[in-house]
Amino acid sequence: MLFLTALKSVALLLAMAVPGFIIGKLKMIDKEKAVSFISVMLLYVTQPFVTFDAFLNTPYNVSVLFNLVMVFFITAILMIATLLIGKLIMTGVGGDLTERAQSVYAGTFGNVGYLCIPFLQLFAPNDSVIILYATSAIVSFNLLSWTLGNYLLTGDKKYMSLKKAIFNPPTLSFIIALPLFICNINFPRFNLVGIQNMVGLFADMVGPLAMTLLGIKISETSLKELFLDGKVYASAIIKLIICPALCALLILIFASFTDVSDIKLNLVAFSAMPSANNVMMFSNRCGLDTKYPAKFVMISTLLSVVTIPLTLMILL
């Protein structure tokens, strides 16, 4: 039953990518401008609204606050552990140094914002606490991807930016919303139905927009060339198999001294997500080739249709 629920959620997400794919294939839009616009909407509008929607629909509870901290640290440990093991694996594989670094990055940092959030919205509808925990994972993701991730790609500390890790819309919205949560300033306490509905509508846009963006990107890719390129499978193995295995180990360790039942879904879902688009964005920003990073993202996303339901079935 769990497998089917997860499979249905993933299938519905990918179905949202079909309009973008068709529009892209028919060349009805300027793809570069469309991708740029949607990316801005996701980063600067929908993700912050997801955070505010989750916080403002959840009454303050000390256990929820404790779990937010737990999600932050466990996901950080998971990403660091995956990165270290990924580097070890890719060193054994050999090949171009830059491509190895990109493989490890793609295998470490999952699509927690643009795929995990809408997946959880479908898998656990109307559960603001689940989304609340996911926003904590996004903050952890941002801090590590902008610092350790950039250093991994380039080997140059000048590309590490704690400032940008903090001063970006998802992290800033979390920092602003957290005090409101602690002070118990929320929609259940104050009857602001109109504002509540507006915030919810913007938050619900993240799934359709993210999947439309994915559909447009897939329309630019030759699936034959994608699946026949053996190099891309290394990052997929790290992200879709090794990362969830490490997550299972961490859950066992932490469960031995604290209750992780309320955050287990978030941790497992986070570990099961395919590679994040950041590997392309940061590779481009650092002056690196984006051809293989794009393939890493595409192949892991397509394979995750099967691996996400299997991971949830096995680990939950």
Residue 130 predicted with pLDDT over 90: yes
The answer for residues whose C-beta is within 8 angstroms of residue 249's C-beta and 6 or more apart is none
Higher-confidence position of 294 and 180 = 180
Tell me the average pLDDT across 188-203: 91
Structure tokens that stand for 67 in this block: 């779990």
Residue 201 predicted with pLDDT over 70: yes
pLDDT, one tens digit per residue, over 7-42 is: 899 989 889 999 999 999 999 988 888 888 988 898
Residue 114's nearest CA partner among 90, 134, 86, 84 is 134
What percent of the chain is predicted at pLDDT more than 90?
58
The answer for residues whose C-beta is within 8 angstroms of residue 293's C-beta and 6 or more apart is 102, 105, 106, 279, 280, 283
Q: Residue 95's pLDDT band (boundaries 50, 70, 90)?
A: low
Residue 94 predicted with pLDDT over 70: no
Residue 93 predicted with pLDDT over 90: no
pLDDT, one tens digit per residue, over 224-269 is: 777 777 778 888 999 999 999 999 999 999 999 999 999 999 999 9
Q: How far is CA 316 from CA 103, 161, 309, in A?
A: 28, 36, 10
Q: Is the pTM of this model over 0.85?
A: yes
CA 124, CA 127: separation in Å to the nearest integer? 6
pLDDT, one tens digit per residue, over 158-175 is: 777 888 888 889 999 999
Evaluate whether 102 touches 293 at the Cβ level (below 8 Å).
yes
Q: Which CATH architecture is the domain 2-315 placed in?
A: Up-down Bundle (1.20)
DSSP 8-class letter at 45: I
What percent of the chain is predicted at pLDDT more than 70?
99
Output the pLDDT for position 161: 80
CA 233, CA 295: separation in Å to the nearest integer? 9
